[in-house]
Structure 1
């Protein structure tokens, strides 16, 4: 991938590309994906068409993060992935130190795919491991086993990748705290630089949502979450966002675009963008996207009032929190109503501050939705 350190007026952009293909749809998944492999060639051509078009529209930007997600990008195969990565490098100005991530599933991450990604500048991989116990993987509809995950991560390191993230899930049906912590411990033996650990949330429209299995209760999941935080802290991980943990220097730079309200462009069905103060998204319809009929939907200009609420909403998900001085400078509002709520939360051990920067504690992260709503409402 061609990279540059040319000046672009300081305008940085995160680029997200959606690959909506899966070998098999997981029972819990609500992301937009399909299993019709016959559309891969046409979809690749359509995505490259939009990469070229938006590359021209975004010529004033420097892309410093690229994230290829899904779906399952690795099931697209080495050839199509190579074409997409080549188009990105040819059509966008890519920063010399850009973080370029591809999501990988163990069963479709082979030598050819890894070599293609490495050749075209990918420098960060995110593996969907989810659990270290095969019975749990089968229960949630995954088609790999843990031995395949171990082999894929090892093959990635042999292929020159040294920034590797693993996804894990807790709160699975019949899962105990000990089982989940064992999954974390086994994943730590793979020496990841980053871990994303999510609680299972069942959407009603998914197969598992319709089945509605019994999940661990809220207290059990809260205890598991805090035990996980302690375990990862002992192993040198920074807890930098509600669900994300990183070794020093390995935070996800692309995800921080979302948490900082920075500009990002998303291409592909279901992909969202926030660009030049406007938000838009493509419909979750691959055939419309391929035909060119899918134009960005729900386009809206985001007012300063909306932005200040969203700033608090996303920043309080991170350990950095929200700086009241920054809030006042960005949106020309008084921070006093927000600080009043924060001080009440501090008394209950749910928030803390350093100077003008307020952040949630790990206990606060557990009830972050209600806390963030209360903080945002204070400014209304």
Structure 2
């Protein structure tokens, strides 16, 4: 049976750069779109033979702002992927969009080309918040974009929102969530604001911009989880909620450790036991693909022991969590010390178990980085405790005079 594979295509172009954004995206570089299209197509053709024996079941156009790139280019790229790879008939095909760069005719053409899911970056229902983040749209445009998607018969719409914005109150966050629910999306991604060094927002905060404190953000998160559950959106990952059957199959590949191939500057891949990424430089990527040259930024083979750490780190982001015999079977490591720590988390309300599976509660998700860090330390110690006796036996067996 063919292995399943995800494909990610990075579109780095934006109309404008948002103050909080740390992704590799560029404003004012529209003049390179045609050359970039040629590079992507060449790279897809070059890579496809390496994926023989794999069936592509998810395709994701991320950014940047793929909708700003233009539906004609997106359709051409999707057609190329479908010609060069074995793409499943029921593949999930997602395009990220900003509300200001979509309209019904465009979405109809994308749907006919095979796009069956869009992810709209709404972020807030408050125009003042959107202006403060330098988002290029209003909430009225977001509502119009959802309506256009429905009229284009796209049946899987995801909306992105952010909590913890500058000067945001609990009441304002509740209003955003209620406004999102009123749009009746199939999926919601609700992220806590991260202030990344080097962004304009980081400079603003350094100069005294006021953000909700940690306690307020925690209250926002816990209220959101409860409210979305009541509305029929099941949490399946720290920041992601879906109606039944509408989980993001592509993003689950990242969290479940499944293989995927990325294209474009800054794109990452995990394929053939190797993790690699491409240079975060549009011009260098185009030049390297079209005229020869190294476009790989980082590349490493991932040993099975490190995969065991990723199993803990990534699976515990999801409500599916981890399971003892799954862990023992895949990574040949002792689960007992990890379970002892999870039992401690359970007593503190941070973890729970059901049918032998351990997962974090919403309270645990709030402090998941610290909890997972402690589990990784325990895992490392358990691995050393297993390895040292074996090394001692090897040394003893090779000492002079031993028969």
Question: Pick from 154, 166, 169: which aligns with 1:176?
Answer: 169
Matched length: 372
Q: Which runs of 5+ in 2 are unaligned?
A: 381-403
Partner Cα distance (1:85, 1:137) in 2: 31
| Structure (1/2) with the larger helix percentage | 2
Question: Pick from 12, 16, 19: which aligns with 2:11?
Answer: 19
| C-alpha contact (below 8 Å) 2:2/2:53 kept by paired residues | no
Partner Cα distance (1:326, 1:14) in 2: 23
Report whether the alignment pairs 1:290 with 2:283.
no
| C-alpha contact (below 8 Å) 2:125/2:179 kept by paired residues | yes
Once the two structures are TM-superposed, the CA of residue 214 in structure 1 deviates from its matched residue by 1.6
- In 2 relative to 1, CA 255–198 (structure 1 residues): closer, same or farther, beyond 3 Å? same
Q: Which residue in the other structure is 1:3 paired with?
A: none
User: Which deviations, in whole Å up to 9, do the C-alpha atoms of 1:8-38 show, x marking residues without a partner?
Assistant: x231101000000000000110000112110
Once the two structures are TM-superposed, the CA of residue 83 in structure 1 deviates from its matched residue by 1.1
Report whether the alignment pairs 1:237 with 2:230.
no
Q: Secondary structure at the match of 2:6?
A: strand
- In 2 relative to 1, CA 369–327 (structure 1 residues): closer, same or farther, beyond 3 Å? same
Partner Cα distance (1:264, 1:167) in 2: 23
Partner Cα distance (2:185, 2:71) in 1: 24
Partner Cα distance (1:355, 1:117) in 2: 42
Partner Cα distance (1:86, 1:134) in 2: 37
Partner Cα distance (1:48, 1:113) in 2: 21
1:248-263 equivalences in 2 (<5 Å): 248-263=244-259
Q: Which residue in the other structure is 1:215 paired with?
A: 211
Q: Which residue in the other structure is 2:118 paired with?
A: 125
Partner Cα distance (1:10, 1:346) in 2: 39
| C-alpha contact (below 8 Å) 2:11/2:264 kept by paired residues | yes
Q: Which residue in the other structure is 1:33 paired with?
A: 25
Q: Which residue in the other structure is 1:150 paired with?
A: 143
Q: Which residue in the other structure is 1:281 paired with?
A: 277
| C-alpha contact (below 8 Å) 2:105/2:152 kept by paired residues | no
1:210-359 equivalences in 2 (<5 Å): 210-212=203-205, 213-292=209-288, 293-359=293-359
Partner Cα distance (1:243, 1:204) in 2: 22
Once the two structures are TM-superposed, the CA of residue 113 in structure 1 deviates from its matched residue by 2.5
Partner Cα distance (2:247, 2:204) in 1: 36
Q: Secondary structure at the match of 2:275?
A: strand
Q: Secondary structure at the match of 1:379?
A: helix
User: Which deviations, in whole Å up to 9, do the C-alpha atoms of 1:209-228 show, x marking residues without a partner?
Assistant: 11112210000000110011
Q: Which runs of 5+ in 1 are unaligned?
A: 1-8
Partner Cα distance (1:329, 1:192) in 2: 38
**C-alpha RMSD over aligned residues:** 0.9
Structure 1 stretches of 4+ with a deviation exceeding 4 A read: none
Please say which structure displays the higher CA radius of gyration. 2
Once the two structures are TM-superposed, the CA of residue 375 in structure 1 deviates from its matched residue by 1.2
Q: Which residue in the other structure is 2:127 paired with?
A: 134
Partner Cα distance (1:21, 1:294) in 2: 22
User: Which deviations, in whole Å up to 9, do the C-alpha atoms of 1:26-58 show, x marking residues without a partner?
Assistant: 011000011211011110111111111111211
Report whether the alignment pairs 1:85 with 2:81.
no
